[in-house]
Amino acid sequence: MSCYSSLLTYFSSHRWAAAGLLALAVASCKNESEKVVPIDTNYYPLAVGDFRIYNVVDTTWTRNVKSYSRFQFRERVAEQYVDDTGRQNFRVIRSRRATAADSWVDDSVLVVSPAAGNVLVTRNNERRVELIFPVREGYWNANAFNNQNDIKEQNLRYIRVGEPFTTTSGTTTVTYPQTLTTTTPDEKEETTYINRFYYFRVQQVYALGEGIVYRNRRRFIYTEPGTSDIPSPNVIFRGTSRTEVLIEKGR
């Protein structure tokens, strides 16, 4: 006999029971029989004391000549608090050092606000929607909560959801079995971002249970402004690229 049928039998034989008690019992029975599927936010796990260290490579192009700069970033979760809207926030301190032998020097602060529906990240007083839940391939408006909202309505998307991803830094190679990638729209769909003269791409890879394991940001100009040169993807007049690879994490 089902839970609901049992309740009807009981209350039929006890007419003194209030109708409100029956409604309350039915609601309780319903909650027991229906399973609520949780929203998985474990692609961006956070706890006070957590830290992540990234090897960083900055590449600069000037008239197709490249130069490199290598250093490290550390992101440390320093504080957890609840804001005026009742939302959880984590204050993350980003520090920088030239080599592993040097001391860390604080570089910047960001605020990460995870919730059941999304993850908001505030940098330089600008809040962006870095992730949305549930995770599925598609687009969303990363600028929904900042003053750049009118620049692009759908400017971030998921790709390669649930796929493995491999990173390499120096002689160390790590494969993460389940990841997702966020990226700006590609050239096949958004000529505003990438065309023959200009290239812009931001990608971040999140591993389940690990957080961000890879970041890459590229901005290229292929020809000198004001000239009639024919652009070539193999010749970069001016450009920058930054790649960050997770090499260590702990608490």
- Residue 19: what residue type? A
CA distance 161 to 154: 18
Contact predicate 224/28, CB 8 Å:
no
- Phi first, then psi, for residue 147 (nearest 5°) are -80, 5
Neighbours of 122 (CB within 10 A): 18
Q: Where are the domains of the chain?
A: 3-33, 51-250
What pLDDT score does 103 carry?
98
What pLDDT score does 5 carry?
47
- Phi first, then psi, for residue 125 (nearest 5°) are 65, 20
Q: What is the mean pLDDT of residues 65-82?
A: 97
Against a cut of 0.85, is the pTM above it?
Answer: no
DSSP 23: H
Sign of the four-CA dihedral 122, 134, 53, 57: negative
- Higher per-residue pLDDT: 230 or 205: 205
Contact predicate 217/201, CB 8 Å:
yes
What pLDDT score does 194 carry?
57
Q: What is the mean pLDDT of residues 216-242?
A: 89
Tokens of 248: 């260590």
Q: What is the mean pLDDT of residues 164-189?
A: 86
Q: For residue 114, is pLDDT > 70? A: yes
Q: For residue 188, is pLDDT > 80? A: no
CA distance 139 to 157: 4
Structure confidence by residue, pLDDT tens digits, 18-73? 444 444 444 444 444 444 444 467 899 999 999 999 999 999 999 999 999 999 99
Above pLDDT 70, what percent of the chain? Answer: 77
- Higher per-residue pLDDT: 166 or 28: 166
Split at pLDDT 50, 70, 90, the class of 15 is very low
